[in-house]
Structure 1
């Protein structure tokens, strides 16, 4: 288990950080398989990611992008990826039915209802080599606290996240509002 919180002063800085992580993943592994949550909360981060890739070109010839949720992958078409590399089905079955290798990175929005990923089957997502969990705004503070305090043996999505081998939780100070101040101080991150 390696869950690491990164707390940023604003949503915009959190978006930039997530965009940079995604760009570096593709740069370091041109055969990356990304499972990306299509929740609208992530749209600004994805816009910044596309901008990052345009400013710092990367080999996208083997990159595969899978939707986690309905709609919302149009932004990735701005990367000029062939349609054969973008999978828009948005269900666990779509991800499973492609006969693909293991997901390198799952980018997931942490919802107020303590859900991430698919509504029913997150097995392939939770088997990803790395997970980026994203939450911003004061309406997310309660679920962020619940993730931080989730028991390791709880059998919930939050416990599954906490048990994953490599998780980066990307939040802003508003989403961190229900965490103890010493925790916030420890995990606050400056990103230039």
Structure 2
């Protein structure tokens, strides 16, 4: 695309292009050239909006973190409805879509990006950490409603669920796990926290 042509929603277009490259070719193929070629724009467009490529990737991840925060609100609103296992199964399948799995791999792959994310206030592995917080908030609400045992340690249970789910979804070369497999994992992790039924 010639320079000087106005592009609508540049950030969104570049973020979508980065996700396409990540999903198709993996984190080692993600470069500013690959992103701008996928977005059909010049490299200068990316550098006019972001100081460097790690700044671009940081903003991409921050944008996805905001998406998880939105999903957390929906999940917490589901407390008290349906079954705890079904709500968690659906949430984990939503949280660990292909883009999230690819971004987690990217964060692991790039040292400079992890440093930038720490500077932006995101410790640990972003997206995974936010998913754990979302699940913990949901579990705490379910505990308050009496749908989990009073002594449920939600701050331990949430990362256990997220870690187990991440292992199920982490193989980028295979199809995502089926709902039954995710549900079985969730049930195994939370069974001790569910009140005994008469």
TM-score range, shorter chain: under 0.3
TM-score (norm 1): 0.27
The structure with the largest strand share of the pair is 1
The structure with higher relative contact order (CA 8 Å, sep 6+) is 1
TM-score (norm: length of structure 2): 0.26
Structure with larger Rg: 2
**Structure number with higher helix proportion:** 2
